[in-house]
């Protein structure tokens, strides 16, 4: 089969022939139809900020397709099922997994699809049966991006941010996960302000229900926020950029009792005076991925028509051209590009 593999920081992925994976009794084999390109891959390929589990590594963690083989110990899946792969392969039995916080799994057997084990930039991929989410017939394969972008947003809004009706929310960075978070915040009853430096992304944010948009490249963010909400500030900022300027701007606009939630990151550091947090009872929180159950919830939102997927898919890239897709992500031109293996 063809697969795109990572070898070294700074090098493009290599598309080459590799063996089709062999499954264990607990696993299934999926013929991949779509795999989303996430900016996290840039942390591996360009920056070395994240390290793969092995070299060479098949990357890609937002995959969906058809089951073509089922291990003998998998009882609830059959050949032909349309599925997405929930990319955190947690143990299901540790302290965190038992509490539904699978992304914090501490088992030595914990793996991440496309991060520590081979992923979805390939014609076929294997995964544990317990990490598979079925797709209803009316849900397209592009829903594979919900395994990360959609469910990460759901978790950040519902579990970490606990967004309530009437909250004023800022989305700092309108890429794929940011625009998913915008939709989730609106579903929770928030007033949402989308912030980016790309007018096209802001227009999509508006079309997805954003109440206001701000181009922070051509406007002073603090002044624009003051015009919109007054001196109080905003209740929550979901930060998807993670560079010094956006981090400090996020703190400046945060109301008393507000929450700054980091989802995106770089190698930049945040230095602050704790009094800023203490006096105003402000909180800084991190939000990491999601549970399989949360992914199932997002797929259901899509099936019910409450969540919009199509505006998020900006490019479809054949697997041999995957490095072109990654370049679109580097330049900030893609909302969510997806790879089509065949």
- In tens, the pLDDT along 81-113 reads 999 999 999 999 999 999 989 999 999 999 999
Of 223, 279, 281, give the one whose Cα is nearest residue 252: 223
CATH architecture of 2-147+290-340: Alpha-Beta Complex (3.90)
- CATH 3.40.50.2300 fits domain 151-286: no
End-to-end Cα distance, the chain: 10
Backbone angles phi, psi at 32, to 5 degrees: -75, 130
Rounded distance between C-alpha atoms, residue 40 and residue 240, angstroms: 11
What is the chain's pLDDT, residue by residue, as a tens digit (342 residues)?
999 999 999 999 999 999 999 999 999 999 999 999 999 999 999 988 889 999 999 999 999 999 999 999 999 999 999 999 999 999 999 999 999 899 999 999 999 999 999 999 999 999 999 999 999 999 999 999 999 999 999 999 999 999 999 999 999 999 999 999 999 999 999 999 999 999 999 999 999 999 999 999 999 999 999 999 999 999 999 999 999 999 999 999 999 999 999 999 999 999 999 998 999 999 999 999 999 999 999 999 999 999 999 999 999 999 999 999 999 999 989 999 999 997
Extract the tokens encoding 159. Answer: 């579990």
* pLDDT at 190 (0 to 100): 98
* pLDDT at 291 (0 to 100): 93
Give start and end residues of each alpha helix (H) in 253-315: 274-280, 292-303
- pTM of the model as a whole: 0.95
Rounded distance between C-alpha atoms, residue 195 and residue 185, angstroms: 14
* pLDDT at 342 (0 to 100): 79
- Residue that is written with structure tokens 């065949």 in the block: 342
Extract the tokens encoding 40. Answer: 């996290």
Of 200, 212, 147, 201, give the one whose Cα is nearest residue 174: 201
* pLDDT at 250 (0 to 100): 97
User: Do 211 and 192 form a contact (C-beta atoms < 8 A)?
Assistant: yes
* pLDDT at 25 (0 to 100): 98
**In the chain, ranges of CATH 3.40.50.720 domains:** 151-286
* pLDDT at 48 (0 to 100): 85
* pLDDT at 151 (0 to 100): 96
Burial (Cβ within 10 Å: 0-12, 13-18, ≥19) of residue 67: buried
Extract the tokens encoding 176. Answer: 């794929």
* pLDDT at 283 (0 to 100): 97
Given the DSSP bridges, would you call strands 254-262 and 234-239 parallel, antiparallel or unpaired?
A: parallel
Given the DSSP bridges, would you call strands 27-36 and 88-89 parallel, antiparallel or unpaired?
A: unpaired
Burial (Cβ within 10 Å: 0-12, 13-18, ≥19) of residue 146: buried
**In the chain, ranges of CATH 3.90.180.10 domains:** 2-147+290-340
């Amino acid at each position: 089969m063809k697969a795109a593999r990572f070898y070294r920081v700074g090098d493009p992925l290599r598309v080459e022939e590799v063996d089709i994976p062999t499954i264990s009794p607990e696993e299934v084999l999926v013929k991949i139809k779509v795999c989303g390109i996430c900016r996290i891959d840039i942390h591996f390929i360009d920056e070395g900020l994240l390290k793969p589990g092995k070299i060479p590594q098949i990357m890609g963690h937002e995959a969906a397709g058809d089951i073509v083989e089922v291990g003998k110990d998998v009882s609830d899946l059959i050949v032909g099922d349309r599925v997405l792969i929930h990319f955190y392969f947690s143990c299901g039995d540790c302290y965190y997994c038992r509490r539904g916080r699978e992304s914090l799994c501490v088992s030595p057997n914990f793996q991440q699809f496309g991060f520590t084990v081979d992923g979805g930039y390939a014609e076929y991929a294997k995964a544990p049966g317990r990490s598979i989410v079925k797709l209803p017939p009316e849900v397209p394969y592009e829903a594979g991006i919900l395994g990360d972008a959609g469910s990460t947003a759901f978790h950040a809004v519902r579990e970490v941010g606990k967004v309530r009706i009437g909250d004023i929310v800022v989305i700092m960075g309108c890429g794929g996960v940011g625009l998913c978070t915008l939709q989730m915040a609106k579903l929770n009853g928030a007033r949402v302000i989308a912030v980016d430096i790309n007018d096209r992304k802001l227009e999509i944010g508006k079309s997805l229900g954003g109440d206001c948009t701000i181009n922070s490249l051509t406007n002073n963010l603090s002044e624009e926020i003051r015009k919109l909400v007054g001196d109080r500030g905003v209740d929550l900022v979901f930060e998807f950029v993670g560079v010094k300027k956006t981090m400090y701007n996020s703190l400046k606009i945060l109301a008393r009792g507000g929450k700054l939630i980091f989802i995106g990151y770089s190698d930049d550091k945040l230095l602050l005076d704790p009094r800023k947090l203490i006096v105003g009872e402000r909180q800084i929180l991190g939000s990491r991925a999601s549970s399989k159950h949360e992914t199932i919830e997002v797929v259901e939102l899509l099936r019910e028509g409450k969540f919009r997927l199509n505006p998020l898919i900006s490019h479809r890239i054949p697997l041999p051209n995957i490095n072109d897709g990654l370049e679109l992500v580097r330049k900030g031109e893609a909302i969510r590009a997806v790879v089509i293996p065949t």
